């Protein structure tokens, strides 16, 4: 009987010791486990695409121009000075294409304008005098553009050829009323800034400078005409990109 009790007591002690060791092992490994995190998952905002200036566009423009010129005119054997200045409004259409690489934008643009510009031009050579109005009813340009873009903003320089029509109507003191006209080609330089309002619409503000046309309408009897004519244009434009 005593032997049975001793055996039972030993078995119970073994079970108790084993349970203690198992509990300690489980507690030790549970402490190594990382507690579950209640941190909310990070939200990834969708990336905003960078605006691109590449593509065809067309639009309308309107602005104001002013000019001033002077030079020498000759009638037969007599020569003298001529001078004039004027201004007027203009408006028209333009179209072009841009190609962007990095922040640099290359482009080509052409435009056609109607104009109310008028200059009063007077000249005197010896006993002959001339009074009249010089008008530029229409003209246009074919220009290259190089710009630098900051997303939806771009600044640019531009230059190329300019063409148009000039009319000169007035009176020569020795022969009476006259009317002369010519078409011309010359050059123009300028610059501007353009910003995109929406995905397809943009607005621009531009300045252009022009120099003496290659041909100039002359009063009858003129044997020589040389000088400088400087024109300036400031205009705003609205473009639609295709």
Judged against a pLDDT cut of 70, whether residue 166 lies above it is answered with yes
pTM of the model: 0.78
Q: List strand residue ranges (DSSP E) for 24-152, in order.
A: 55-75, 78-101, 104-115, 118-125, 128-150
DSSP, collapsed to helix, strand or coil, labels residue 2 as helix
Convert the pLDDT of each residue in 8-29 to its tens digit: 334 334 333 343 444 444 454 4
Which residue blocks in 1-131 are alpha helix, DSSP H?
Answer: 2-32
Convert the pLDDT of each residue in 172-181 to its tens digit: 999 999 999 9
Q: Round to whole Å and give the CA distance between 120 and 66.
A: 12
Token pair belonging to 103 = 């922040």
Judged against a pLDDT cut of 60, whether residue 7 lies above it is answered with no
Measure Cα distances from 61 to 14, 47, 112, 159, 198 in Å: 100, 35, 10, 18, 18
Convert the pLDDT of each residue in 55-95 to its tens digit: 999 999 999 999 998 999 998 889 999 999 999 999 999 99
Judged against a pLDDT cut of 60, whether residue 167 lies above it is answered with yes
Residue-range domains of the chain with CATH: 104-241 (2.40.160)
Contact 187, 159 (CB under 8 A): yes
Residue from 192, 207, 92, 87 nearest 139 by CA: 92
């Amino acid at each position: 009987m005593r032997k049975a009790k001793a055996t039972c007591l030993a078995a119970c002690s073994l079970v108790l010791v084993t349970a203690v060791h198992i509990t300690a092992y489980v507690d030790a490994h549970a402490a190594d486990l990382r507690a579950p995190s209640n941190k909310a998952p990070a939200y990834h905002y969708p990336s905003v695409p960078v605006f691109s200036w590449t593509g065809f566009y067309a639009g309308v423009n309107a602005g104001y121009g002013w000019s001033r010129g002077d030079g020498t005119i000759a009638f037969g054997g007599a020569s003298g000075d001529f001078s004039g200045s004027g201004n007027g409004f203009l408006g028209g259409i333009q179209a072009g294409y841009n190609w962007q690489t990095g922040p640099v934008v290359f482009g080509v643009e052409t435009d056609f304008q109607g104009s109310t510009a008028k200059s009063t031009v007077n000249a005197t050579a010896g006993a002959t005098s001339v009074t009249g109005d010089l008008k530029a009813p229409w003209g246009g340009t074919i220009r290259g553009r190089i710009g630098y873009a900051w997303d939806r903003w771009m600044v640019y320089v531009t230059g190329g050829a300019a063409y148009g029509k000039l009319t000169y109507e007035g009176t020569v003191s020795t022969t009476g009323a006259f009317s002369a006209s010519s078409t011309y080609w010359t050059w123009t330089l300028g610059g501007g800034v353009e910003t995109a309002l929406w995905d397809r619409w943009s607005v621009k503000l531009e300045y252009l400078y022009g120099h003496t046309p290659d041909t100039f309408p002359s009063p009858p009897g003129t044997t020589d005409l040389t000088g400088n004519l400087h024109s300036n244009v400031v205009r705003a434009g609205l473009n639609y990109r295709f």
